[in-house]
Structure 1
Amino acid sequence: MQKLTRTVTLTATLTVALTLISGCSYLGVYKRDLAQGNLVTSDMAEQLQPGMTRQQVLNIMGSPLLTAPFDAGEWDYIYYLDKAYSGTEQRRLTLTFQGNRVADIERYGDFSEPPAVADERGIGPTESSGEQTGNLLNVRPEDS
């Protein structure tokens, strides 16, 4: 009887240990927010005005994420945030050019508040640096 009790106890202990080691836990899987595209803030969008040149737009917004493949007269700045434990946030700013000047500005999404990732982790251009780029690939850490 003692051997049976030891065997059952050892088996139960091994099962619990293997379950914890294998990553199967009752606490859940860790998820993180995933930000993609251009960081588009309301301050950046408010600076844009019809009649601006392409170079002025590049100085404010950085490189566009998408340009129209058959007509270079449209630039799209898209920011997409997949929040780990809630929904998604998407912002899109479409600029239409006539020649070298902005003709139309279309906004999609909520620009009233800064993107959640920008507030929590400090992603984006710093206010003190003269460089303003909205492209997430060109973002550099804040100077300490």
Structure 2
Amino acid sequence: MQNLIRTVVLLSAATLITGCSYFGVYKRDIPQGNLITQEMVSQLHTGMSKAQVAQIMGTPLLEAPFSADQWDYVFYLDEAYGDTVEKRLTLTFQNDQVVDIAKSGDMDSNVELNQDSGPGPAVEGAGEGTATPRIGPSGI
């Protein structure tokens, strides 16, 4: 009788352990930084003021610590079941005007941030027709 109880307990434990690893864990896309679109980048040109750049791109994610003449816009997307997307835009200013625009990453492709679908809480402003995704360390 004890062998039967041990066998049943062992098989139940093995079933529970393999069941958890079989289905996997739900994952979400994790966007971080400033969203950089092709439309935004195409509007930038040398000679623009900081105010004009801020109107198009928003506030920069990073400013050079020893000089306010360099703004860095960084976007990073860790797709749940796929690749990662990295974009970086560095703007250098002189006398409050853009003198250099350095790009890295694939600026020609726009990233779809589809946070409205799937399980979980709704995104703030969803359903109003004009939801603007808030991007930060938590991904929303």
Instruction: Kindly report which structure 2 residues correspond to 1:69-84, keeping only aligned pairs within 5 A, or say none.
Output: 69-84=65-80
2:9 to 4, 8, 11: 11
2:46 to 43, 50, 65: 50
> Tell me, what secondary structure is at the counterpart of 1:116?
coil
2:115 to 121, 125, 143: 121
Measured against aligned partners, the alpha-carbon deviations of 1:115-139 in whole angstroms (never above 9, x if no partner) come to 132xx2379xxxx97xxx99735xx
How far apart are the structure 2 equivalents of 1:85 and 1:33? Answer: 8
Measured against aligned partners, the alpha-carbon deviations of 1:9-41 in whole angstroms (never above 9, x if no partner) come to 632453156537xx8321223222211100000
Are 1:34 and 2:33 an aligned pair? no
Aligned partner letter, 2:13: T
State percent identity of aligned pairs. 45
Change (3 A) 1:90 1:8: same
Change (3 A) 1:134 1:43: farther
Change (3 A) 1:135 1:107: farther
2:119 match: none
Q: What is the alpha-carbon root mean square deviation over aligned residues? A: 3.0
Q: Which has the higher helix share?
A: 1
Aligned partner letter, 1:68: A
Change (3 A) 1:56 1:135: farther
How far apart are the structure 2 equivalents of 1:116 and 1:64? Answer: 21
How far apart are the structure 2 equivalents of 1:11 and 1:79? Answer: 50
1:93 match: 89
Aligned positions, number: 125
Gaps of 5+ in 2: 117-122, 124-128
The alignment's TM-score, normalised by the length of structure 2, stands at: 0.73
How far apart are the structure 2 equivalents of 1:58 and 1:135? Answer: 17
Gaps of 5+ in 1: none
2:105 match: 109
1:68 to 53, 64, 68: 64
